[in-house]
Amino acid sequence: MTDAPLVAVLDYGSGNVHSAVKALAAAGADARLTSDRGLIMDADGLVVPGVGAFRAVMEALRASRGDELIDRRLAGGRPVLGICVGMQVLFELGVERGVDTEGLGEWPGVVTELDAPVLPHMGWNTVEAGEGSRLFAGIEQERFYFVHSFAAQKWSLEVQRPFAEPALTWCTYGGPFLAAVENGPLSATQFHPEKSGDAGIRLLSNWIGGLGAATL
């Protein structure tokens, strides 16, 4: 497909991300795993994957200057999608086993351990899609695949007009936590769309379909 939107998957050493590239391609993107700064800045969309510990992901992002690329894209209104720990690091702070790690600070808030009897939260779960969500259009009742012990459990960003209110999607495991956020050009999911079967492909397709839309 020659007109497929170009989606860069940020290659900064965070685990096996080839499944994300394959899922994006299945969803209709020209997906490329890359660390090329020019390609990352020029791409229609940027996906930031993340597995493992908050601190390790932040160290890898800073070492590769991926944090700068994310910030520059968002400053220009260019779409970014974070996945799993790639969502968590968008917040101000991560607290893991008593260790505080500064995040990217794109959103206020703290990522903390889930209050659940069994961790990690691993497997399929339903979500409560946020009002006006584009990501979950047509898949509001589907289940998605999670594997994590930490999450953002509160939302504190106050959005002023004329900017639109973000669409907040919640999930419950022990207590409520943010399963996804759609906030202007910046979106993120705590679950793994690339491991969520047809529903995950549809979600990625919904995101890809909005890459050409104007963002505020």
- List residues with catalytic annotation: 84, 192, 194
Distance CA 65, CA 28 (A): 28
H/E element holding 25? helix 18-26
Strands lying side by side in the sheet with 186-189? 30-34, 6-10, 45-48, 80-83, 186-189, 175-183, 167-173
H/E element holding 177? strand 175-183
Classify strands 91-96 and 107-113 as parallel, antiparallel or unpaired.
Answer: parallel
Q: Which of 5, 10, 24 is nearest to 193 (CA)?
A: 24
State the burial class of residue 85 (Cβ atoms within 10 Å of its Cβ: 0-12, 13-18, 19+). Answer: buried
State the burial class of residue 163 (Cβ atoms within 10 Å of its Cβ: 0-12, 13-18, 19+). Answer: exposed
